Structure 1
C-alpha cells in the first residue's frame, strides 16, 4: 500500500508538471520583469536609461522549473553632480584630515585629486554601458501564464565567470561601506611611504608607454555579450589566434599591446605569459609584477579602467581567469573578458584581485 501511494504521488507530480509545462509561457515578459528587478538595484545611485532585455534560451530543470537565460542591458548615469558627492571620495577626504606629516598629506592629496579628475571626466554625467547575463528560475508551482508577475529578485541569479551569484548582490554597497575603502586607501599610501621599499627602484619605465584608455577601448571593441566559449566574429580579432574555451589571457594581452605595452622575448604571441594567467608561476600576472609594470592589489577601488581583474577560488588560489576593467566609478565596476565573453559586465560576489599599472596614462603621472 505504501509503495502504491508513493507511485500515485509521483504520477500526480509528473501530471502536474506536464500540465504546467503545457501552459503558455511569455518569456519576453519574464525577461522584462528580470530587467525591472535588476535595474531597481541601481536606482538609488544611478539614473537608468535605454533598458532592454533579450531572452537567450529557455529550458526546464530536473524538477520541472522553467529556467530562462536573459541578457539585460542599460545605461546608468551617476546621480552625483560632482566627485565630492561620491562616498569613496568622502572617505578619502576624511582620512586626509587625520594626517599630519606634510609628505603624507601631499601624496594623499595627489591621489585624491587624481581620483576626482577621473570621476569628473569619465563618469559624472556620463552614461555607462552595462550588460548582465542572468538566469531566471520560474518555480514549478507557478502558473505559467502568470510567471512574470510571480518573479522577484530572489528568483534571479547573475551568471558569474566561475559560479552563479544571487542577482541582489549586484546592488551597490551602502554609502558607509563605500567610504571605508577610501579611508583604507589613504592608510595604504602612508604605509607604503613609511617603508620606501624597492618599489621606486624596481618600476620599469616602459610602463609609461601603456595607454590604459586605448586598452579599454580595444577590450570593448573585441568583446560581446553572448557568453560564448568559442570562436565568433564579434570577439575574434583576425590578427590573433583564438583559443576556444581558454582565450581570456590571450585577449587581455591583446588589450595591453593595443594600449602600447611593448612585447619582448618573454611576453609575445603566444608565449606562456601571453596566453596563461600563471598557475604554474609563468603567466601574465608574474610577468607584469616581476618586471615592474603592474602591481598587485586587493582593493577594487584602486583598479581604474585598463587594470586587470583576476578571479580566485574560494580558498584564495588562482582560478585561471582574467579580464580587463573597463569602468570603475568607485561605486560599481565593469569588465570585458573572453571565454566566457563579456562586455561592460558588472563584477560582483565572486572572489577576485587586481593588477594595476604603475603609470596612470590618463593622469600622466605615477599611480599613487
Structure 2
C-alpha cells in the first residue's frame, strides 16, 4: 500500500494570490530577506491504487487545468529545509477536505483509497535564518491549536505518516474535589477550559455529589458546552447598559438600564412583534424557515464551525458573531 503526494500549484504566469498575500504579511511584520513566497496545496492519498489512477484523480478532480498544474511523487512530507514550510493538521483534528475528496474519488469509480490528507506548502525564497523562518511560520502560516509544521523533524509528515492505531488509551482524571479556588483557576487555565471560578465551583460541587473526580474528557465536554460559542453567555447574560449625553464637553444626562438576555430582548423580540407572515419558523433548532411561494419554503442553516471553541474561545466566539 502506497502513499502518493500530489502537489497542486499555479502555472507559471498565473498570479499566486496566496503566496503574494503571505509575502505582504511578512513584509508588514518588518521581516527582511524574503523576496518571494510560492504556495501549493498537497494531497496525500493512501491506498491500493496505481499511478494511472492517481494521475486521473489529479487531472479530473484536484486541479483547474486552465490555471493550475500538478506533480506526483511517492512518500510523505518534504526535506527538512528552512525554505519549505509544510503546514498540516494535528493528529485528531478533522481534515475538512478529506471526506469530500474521498467521496469524489469513489464517484469516479476508483476503489482502494484508504485515506486522504491535505497540507499547505509555502516555499520562501530569499536569504534569511532558520529563526526567521520559524517566526514567519508561527506568526503567519499556521494555528498551533489545530496545525503543525510537518516537515521540521516530525514523524507526522502529511498527517498520514503516523498511524492512528499508534494511539494508546489512558484514562486521565482531574482532581477537583480537593482543589482550592486558586487550584480551580489553574486547572481552568492549564486545561484551556476558559471557565471562571464560579463555573469551576459548580462543576466541583456536581462531581462532589457523585463522589468522584471528573475525567479530562468530561471536563472538556462541559467546558465546550458552556463556551461562548455554544452557550452564548454574552447574549443570554444580564447586561448593564449606560448612556451619557454631553453638550460642549459637559455631561447633560446619564441613564442606566439592565438588559436581561440581549438576544431575547432585541432580535427575537422585534421578530415576534413584527410577526411577518412569511416567517414560517424562527429561532428553532438553529435554523430559520421563510416562505418562498405558495408551494415552497426556504430553510436557512447558517453557521460556521471553523474553530474548536473549547480550545480557542476567541475564534469560537467569532463564529457566533459571523466571523
Same fold (TM over 0.5): no
Structure with the bigger percentage of helix: 1
TM-score by length of 1: 0.23
Structure with the bigger percentage of strand: 2
Larger Rg: 2
TM-score by length of 2: 0.26
